[in-house]
Structure 1
């Protein structure tokens, strides 16, 4: 049986890596992001290398009409989506007291509302078919006092846990993937001044994060903190005062974004 996955934020970074790894498993794809040219280039490569079917759906998911179009694609029973990867996101680098409120609203819409909206569109069909998989890319910041970014990602973790508990026995598995720092081109877009001054060991490998996420989704793990370094740090973080955690979290503010 051929499966089909829809990946948001698929034009670069972690989203593109999810697309490559899914294509390597023989899974057909629907790629969603704002940059149609980059999506088409990736689709061309994946079709040629892996022989899978690839659709391109250009959408700024903070635009209500385009979000509705992606939701409609997820609800299309004639070409069902078996796997939903909610990956699109961005970060607001400015501190909370200096950020533009429009940017804060867009961040929360993309990071917490969009995964809910798309999961809501996908779940009924998955339940009717008796199987489905939803991977929501959250962040290790969800477990830290890390401003509005962490607050939005915390909502994604909570939603994922709830949907996993509610629907796993009916064949739908839901996972929140919580990476730490991932080196993607988002940092280049923000400029060198916004690169966190951290050693190489602090950065997780994009390929490893995607593989761990897909394995956790297959197992039905509700929440996975990706990369052994961040899993090791999570118990220690519970013992660290919030004031220090907030300072550490602000160092990596806005450090991963795709689509």
Structure 2
């Protein structure tokens, strides 16, 4: 499925696998930036699963595939190659069989791609295939720990992770953050985009009610440093007792 996965057959949470910190949350909740900073300070790797969905949507658009047809997207996945760095600056490369991989790091972040992601993420088989790829990437990472963030992480991808966090924030707070990141878009436009994306996401995932055993972190009234420290504190609370028992 991917070169990085090297066909690893480990289940997440098996002996010898990295310590997992699973973080779910809607767009604008801070999960991506907070997850990356937390991973760096913990000495862990970071797996941004949203980048894979973006990369799949991007390559499908490049190939002229109908994003709304599950069979067509799944067929594309049989031929695509995806790789992502888990330490340092994020680099994403995407390719199709018989073609040179392309550095799509910047392209997948374009606003035109963001609006298409839900068209591929809504397909159950696509999500199942990507979730399996995420498990393989983590198992083959060789890292002591991995913060894995995105959608379905706490409930489907890594339901047995020792740390599972649902990071959320009000729509207003998320719109304010995103408006500062996206040039040319007003707060009202970003708020409307977030509301539309929340509605689409709600059809396949619950980003606002934590599953049993998942810790809810609401960042609406937290600044960046406070959000990062909250995650680190949750991880250390789980790690320290284990360390003392060794």
**Pairwise TM-score range, normalised by the shorter structure:** 0.3 to 0.5
TM-score (norm 2): 0.36
- Determine which structure has the larger helix proportion and give its number: 1
TM-score (norm 1): 0.34
Q: Which has the higher contact order (CA 8 A, sep 6+)?
A: 2
